[in-house]
Amino acid sequence: MDYTVPAHLFQKADRVLVVWSSQNQPTTEAMNVLQESVKHHVAELHMENLERILHDSSALNAHEGHYSLILCGWPVPLSSGTTSFELLSSLAPCLKPGGRLVGRENVSQCDNINKVIQLSGFVEFSQLGTDPMMFLARLPSEYALGTSAPLSWHKEAVDAAWDAVDAEVSNGDMINTDSLLKPTDLAKPTPCGQATTNVAGQPKKRACKNCTCGLAEEEAKADAEGKSVNSAAAKSSCGNCYLGDAFRCSTCPYRGLPPFKPGEQVKLPDSFLEADL
């Protein structure tokens, strides 16, 4: 049984915590060999019992953020399933940001350990050996509360994008939307109260419903002064004008007037333009 830890895992400034399990009953010789193989390569070495950590989660509170490396499974590899979320959650606060965790366990597959490692907040899981299975994981580099890191925003080539658009326009691929408009589309709408022109070119001026421009009042005033529609001089070419607007031509002088009897003189009453309500 190899009780030592590979020397390439250490750095001279490391503060190391070795977590050992009493269930594996390590001998005194094994513990001594382990300590001798570690203490000459690091700045500081502490030993802690695994069962004590699981029994009292506050056992390591005094060493929060103190260690840069934790060794789990020496001098004897841990039993299968010992590397649990509960254990790693107790060990993670003891590591510095970017601290390393190296463990050994008697298992053949590392899938379950990898899952527990990720759930406990560790990253960069890698398998270092088999029989027993040895693995390495790290805490994020800036895991401490309140730390910040700059974000490198990607700068898009905006000028190049607009150059591509201009190139398409110069090639004639884009349609000029102004060329799709007709003269009638560009004509301004006639405001309420202004005279319009029918098909025959005759001006026709009538107040809109709910008129607000004053034209309705002018028409009512004109009717009050006796300016009625002169229909006597009007001549009908079709003979259907008296039937109503449904039978009248677009140029009919009687358009807008109610139906009347043939030959009857048409006059608008004074109340014709008054509101019904």
Rounded to an integer, the average pLDDT of 239-255 is 78
Rounded to an integer, the average pLDDT of 49-63 is 86
Residue 175 has what pLDDT?
74
Look at residue 48 and tell me whether its pLDDT is greater than 80: yes
Order of strands, edge to edge, in the sheet holding 67-72?
Answer: 44-49, 15-20, 67-72, 95-105, 133-138, 123-129
- 271-275 long-range contacts (CB < 8 A, ≥24 apart) are 272/223, 273/207, 273/216, 273/219, 273/220, 273/223, 274/220
- Can you list the domains of the chain with their CATH numbers? 7-138 (3.40.50.150), 197-272 (no CATH)
pTM equals 0.49
Binding-site annotation: residue ranges: 192, 208, 211, 213, 238, 241, 249, 252
Binding-site annotation: residue ranges for [4Fe-4S] cluster: 238, 241, 249, 252
Look at residue 230 and tell me whether its pLDDT is greater than 50: no
d(CA 114, CA 96): 21
d(CA 181, CA 174): 16
Residue 231 has what pLDDT?
41
Contact (Cβ atoms closer than 8 angstroms) between residue 141 and residue 97:
yes
Residue 269 has what pLDDT?
61
Give the CA angle between residues 18, 19, 23 to the nearest 5°: 140
Convert the pLDDT of each residue in 166-179 to its tens digit: 776 666 666 778 88
H runs (alpha helix) in 42-197:
50-55, 85-91, 111-119, 158-170, 183-186
Count the Cβ atoms, other than its own, within 10 Å of residue 188: 5
Range with lowest mean pLDDT among 130-144, 168-182, 185-199: 185-199
Helix/strand number for the chain, H first, E second: 7, 8
Range with lowest mean pLDDT among 93-102, 134-143, 202-211: 202-211
Binding-site annotation: residue ranges for [2Fe-2S] cluster: 192, 208, 211, 213
Look at residue 272 and tell me whether its pLDDT is greater than 60: no
pLDDT > 90 in the chain, percent: 13
Rounded to an integer, the average pLDDT of 257-277 is 68
> What average pLDDT does the structure give for the chain?
79
